[in-house]
Amino acid sequence: MKDWTASQLQTLDANTLWHPYGSATQAPETYPVSSARGVRLQLTDGRELIDGMASWWCAIHGYNHPVLNRAVTEQLEAMAHVMFGGLTHAPAVRLARMLTDLTPPGLDRVFLSDSGSVSVEVALKMAIQYWFSVGQPRKQKLVALRNGYHGDTFGAMSVCDPVTGMHHLFGDVLPKHFFAPAPTTPFGEACSDDDLREMAELLEQHHQDIAAVIVEPVVQGAGGMRFYSADYLVRLRALCDAFDVLLIYDEIATGFGRTGKLFALEHAGVEPDILCVGKALTGGYMTLAATLCNQRVSLGISEGEAGAFMHGPTFMGNPLACATACASIELLLSQPWQRRVQEINRGLEIGLSPARELANVAEVRTLGAIGVIELKEAVDMDRIQPMFVERGVWVRPFGKLVYCMPPYVMNPDDLAILTAAMVDTVAQLA
């Protein structure tokens, strides 16, 4: 197997594997990776790619980092996994303490799970079970934003945009919830009354049935890479309080520095009742997520009819993942990560700016370590993906968006190569 060529790997892959959002009968071209180090992916055919995606936004320290390698190795020698029912261990306890110390003070209870989608499922179940436990079982509906994305499992799909999202095929079987328009006021500006008008009307008319509002703070990720006013979060918190509705923040994509703050909620200075984190939690090494909640939620559930929160993943609190997450968080905080994110933002702004002059470009926008070129028409993936590989970079567009979320360790030279490849490739499409 070690001697398989790139061509053999691609053929076997096409015949046996099913890739995300891919066809089993018309499999797109894949690029076999033999190793990864720093910000570079080494392909089996000898080519090297600068990774602009941080493996779907999670590998914030790059690849093969000695600190994280050591954390995995040391924990592996002790135990890779042990059930979390009735047992506990130091990596999980340390991680929970770290998360409660780093997030707003009211979020003092941590539920661990093994993926971002599941952390959203947990958040939705927490909200619904809370209201059932405190004697208001009617409150089972949720409110989400248009253009939002929260994951691929059924509960998470039900709060993704039902029209422009990726899950409209399942519309007839998903639970029906309420949707409010996404705010249009750009990041850095005070939001207008228009941004909240329909949200306020929904809450006023249906708050007796609504358990929670769920939003991605400041950045709507896979639903469009949209950046919006932090002031919206302040005013949304006030609305939720006024109508006695819980507020859930999905920070799976934005947590751990991506927007220039450790958590995107810090741009607004308000806290949710429930918070989801994942992706960069382990620096891209292991799959792990967490759902944090305040005492109102945890006590309400625990003192209710069931006496317990009704959820329990098999790999909850996996020691290997928890130890890696602890090491990743410590590594992030030990370094000038904010300065690095600011430097990446400057490089993205300078490097992507020429795309604003291209006829096929609708908008160029950056925030923290996120750079987006939004086109006027959707890209042809079969055409554009090889163009990036030929230029020595890994960028994975979707829809009308050619974007990057590089590892924080990317140096200015590599960032310049990455942004130039994005601009030049978009120009070729024109």
Catalytic residues: 21, 149, 250, 279
CA angle 265, 268, 272 (to 5 degrees): 50
Where do the DSSP E strands lie in 20-106?
A: 33-37, 40-43, 48-51
Cα–Cα distance for residue pair 405/156, rounded to 1 Å:
23
The residues near 89 (Cβ < 8 Å, ≥ 6 apart) are: 79, 82, 317, 319, 322
Residues 111 and 276: their CA atoms lie apart, in Å, by 10
Using alpha carbons, list the distances in angstroms from residue 38 to 62, 65, 212. 5, 7, 40
Distance CA 369, CA 361 (A): 20
Query: Which residues, 6+ apart, have CB-to-CB distance to 142 below 8 Å?
Result: 124, 127, 158, 159, 177, 178, 210, 211, 212, 213, 214
Q: Which helix (H) or strand (E) holds 75?
A: helix 66-78
Q: Do residues 59 and 283 make contact, with C-beta atoms less than 8 angstroms apart?
A: yes
Residue 96, amino acid: A
Query: To 10 degrees, the CA torsion angle through 322, 323, 326, 331?
Result: -140
Rounded CA separation 125/181 (Å): 24
Distance between CA atoms of residues 150 and 70, nearest Å: 32
